[in-house]
Chain A
Amino acid sequence: GESVGLHLPTLSVQEGDNSIINCAYSNSASDYFIWYKQESGKGPQFIIDIRSNMDKRQGQRVTVLLNKTVKHLSLQIAATQPGDSAVYFCAENLYSSASKIIFGSGTRLSIRP
């Protein structure tokens, strides 16, 4: 399953399939990007990050891809599990104002058994 940026706020994926969550960022000066997972009633939890001098970074079952040409960021989750159900946010660090991390509106991921 695949979502496109912030215009499709929900993504439903079959358990065991791979999930792809996309994010379009607007500021070409952003130099650092982060993905967060937020479960109901909790604060956002760090998943993975990537600096602007990289185009791919892998973690455990997750991969972040960065395409600076089109200002696009994606989060890939391999073998999606019920515990992956949450809202996922991308965030960007604005280089021009290094102390500001700005968040997107998020994508809700739901897992079908």
Chain B
Amino acid sequence: NAGVTQTPKFQVLKTGQSMTLQCAQDMNHEYMSWYRQDPGMGLRLIHYSVGAGITDQGEVPNGYNVSRSTTEDFPLRLLSAAPSQTSVYFCASRPGRNNSPLHFGNGTRLTVT
């Protein structure tokens, strides 16, 4: 049971490039989400999904796209990277019921130059 797995761990992009951050969980969790964490700040919600085929926007969705074709995977796409997207990105999941804690991956550190 690996929990939440994020790849890659590190990535450097040039402005305007696109890429996909991968997230997979093996706990059969219905709910998955993406957060970004900037230095000295808390985690801000980008997008989330309550189940396969369903996604919704969080606090800071602009510049990011998501899809949820399977229960296990929830990729985050940057269509045209900007320096403001330099951050550490965390994927998290939890069972579908409310009042349960999120389980986090170890993050992807993204630098956009």
Contact = CB atoms under 8 A, between A and B. Distances in A.
Contact of A99 (B40, B41, B56, B107): B56
Interface residues of A, number: 24
Contact of B104 (A32, A43, A106): A43
Contacts of B59: 102
B42 A51 contact: no
Contacts of B107: 41-43
A102 B44 CA distance: 7
Tell me the dominant secondary structure on chain A's binding face: strand
Contacts, number: 58
Interface in A39-93: 41-46, 49, 51, 89, 91, 93
A10 to B, nearest CB: 11
A89 B37 CA distance: 12
Contacts of B90: 43-44
A103 B99 contact: no
Interface residues of B, number: 26
B79 interface: no
A34 interface: yes
B77 interface: no
23 contacts: A31-B98, A34-B101, A34-B102, A41-B107, A42-B106, A43-B4, A43-B104, A43-B106, A44-B90, A44-B92, A46-B103, A89-B43, A91-B102, A93-B99, A98-B98, A99-B31, A99-B56, A100-B58, A101-B102, A103-B43, A103-B44, A104-B42, A106-B41
